[in-house]
Amino acid sequence: MAKRSFKVWRGDANGGEFKAFEVDVDPGMVVLDVLHRIQSRQANDLALRWNCKAGKCGSCSMEINGKPRLACMTRMNIFRDDETITAQPLKTFPVIKDLVTDVSWNYAQNQRIPRFKPRPREADGTHRMYQEDVDRVQEFRKCIECFLCQDVCHVIRDRDAKSEFVGPRFMIRLASLEMHPLDTDDRVPEIRKEFGSGLCNITRCCTEVCPEHINITDNGIIPLKERVVDRYFDPVQSLIRKVRGIKLRTKTRSEASAEGGTGGKP
């Protein structure tokens, strides 16, 4: 057991400050354990979120020594013995209290995404999909909604462009729908015009922090950007479509309904 120094941000929407704590730390502990020890022994009302303690639920997101991390997966032995460890709430979202932020904006983004629309089942009542066709979608579906990627994305964080860009988490949610072998919907116009795919400039910061090691940028966002380019800007692709008589939607559903049309297929 060793004494370690912590600085934990305490406060609420009206402001706050770092408070210092000296805590006994046992071998094998993670930052969340130490915060719990502070909570049970020194500051009963210290607000923080957690559930699984095993990196599976994405509740315990916070900034530890300035980096967005899961507190339950941050082992104390990655820090120097004499290092003071700071814990503070995610910067991108409004503080509720101490280490707890208001992440409801993320839930609102999910609500905007058009739902999964499967093709009909096969005659024997099953859906057939092959493992190699679902590997990529499964990668995206590993997301535990920790929102660390949302926290670190400069479009949301520094430019505060929350109304224009849904953020990396929901780009891969869109990718998981667009690449789902059973899905029949088409969300490309919305991806460009409503969900803001063009705002991502591929810095890959989101991919770096993802605790699920999802290759957010290269496997998710870039392919979506390519779909947008194909649809709107690629003369060859649009010629092929013209020749074959294929019509793809270029207006979003809200644009189309404003003009009184259907927005094309589907």
Partner 1 sequence: MLDVSEIQTIDHDVMVVGAGGAGLRAAIECSALGLDTGVISKSLLGKAHTVMAEGGMAAAMGNVDPRDNWKIHFRDTMRGGKFLNVWRMAELHAQQAPDRVRELEEWGAVFDRTKEGLISQRNFGGHRYPRLAHVGDRTGLELIRSLQDHGIHQGIKFHMECSALELLKDPHGDRIAGVLAYWRETGRFVIYRCKVVILCTGGGGKAWPVTSNSWEYTGDGIAMAYDAGAELMDVEFTQFHPTGMVWPLSVRGILVTEGVRGDGGILKNNKGERFMFNYISERFAPETADTVAEADRWIQGDKTARRPPELLTRDEVARAITAEVKAGRGSPHGGVFLDIASRQPADFIKRKLPSMYHQFMELAEVDITKEPMEVGPTLHYFMGGIRVDADSQQTTVPGLFAAGECAAGLHGANRLGGNSLSDLIVFGKLAGDGAAAYIKALGSTPRPIDDQVVAAIRRATDILKREQGANPYLLHEKLEGIMSSRVGIVRNQQDLEHGVEELEALKLEAVEMKAPGASQYNPGWHEALSMRSLLITSEAVTRAALMREESRGAHTRTDHPGESAEWVKYNVIVKRGAGGTMEVEKRAKPEGPARLVAIANAKIEDLESGKVGAD
Residues engaged in binding ligand FES (CB under 6 A): 50-53, 55-60, 70, 72
Q: Which does 62 bind (CB under 5 to 8 A by kind): ligand FES, ligand SF4, partner 1, none?
A: none
CB 167 to ligand SF4: min, Å: 7
Nearer to partner 1, 125 or 260 (CB): 125
Find the binder of ligand SF4 among 38, 172, 177, 188 (CB under 6 A): 172
First to last CA, the chain: 63
The 211-250 contact track toward ligand SF4, x by CB under 6 A, reads xx-x-xx---x-----------------------------
Centroid of chain to Cα 106: 8
Residue 49 is a binding residue for partner 1 (CB under 8 A): yes
Q: Following DSSP, what letter does each residue of 42-103 receive, concatenated? A: T-TT-----S-SSSSS---EEEETTEEEEGGG-BGGGS-TTPPEEEE--SSS-EEETTEE--
Residue count, binding to ligand SF4 (CB under 6 A): 28
The 148-187 contact track toward partner 1, x by CB under 8 A, reads -----------------------------x--x-xx----
Phi (first) and psi of residue 102, to 5 degrees: -90, 105
Find the binder of partner 1 among 7, 11, 18, 56 (CB under 8 A): 56
Residue 12 is a binding residue for partner 1 (CB under 8 A): yes
Segment near partner 1 (CB under 8 A), from 29-37, 188-196, 197-205, 253-261? 29-37
Sign of torsion over alpha carbons 27, 57, 208, 46: negative
Sign of torsion over alpha carbons 164, 169, 171, 173: negative
Q: Which does 163 bind (CB under 5 to 8 A by kind): ligand SF4, ligand FES, partner 1, none?
A: none
Q: Could you tell me the two tokens for 227?
A: 């779909």
C-alpha separations of 109 from 8, 34, 52, 265 in Å: 30, 33, 25, 24
Q: Could you tell me the two tokens for 59?
A: 């509740």
CB 169 within 8 A of CB 150: yes
Residue 153 is a binding residue for ligand SF4 (CB under 6 A): yes
CB 248 to partner 1: min, Å: 23
The 53-72 contact track toward ligand SF4, x by CB under 6 A, reads -----x--------------
Q: Could you tell me the two tokens for 266?
A: 């589907």
How far, in Å, CA of 47 to CA of 45, rounded? 6
Find the Cα–Cα–Cα–Cα dihedral 202, 208, 213, 218, rounded to 10°.
20
Bridge partners (DSSP) of residue 9 are 18
CB 60 within 8 A of CB 71: yes
Q: Given the rule CB under 6 A, which residues bind ligand SF4?
A: 58, 143-149, 153, 155, 168-169, 172, 200-206, 209-212, 214, 216-217, 221
Q: Given the rule CB under 8 A, which residues bind partner 1?
A: 12, 26-30, 33, 39-41, 44-59, 73, 75, 96-98, 100, 103-104, 107, 110-111, 115-116, 118, 125-131, 134, 137-138, 141-142, 144-145, 177, 180, 182-183
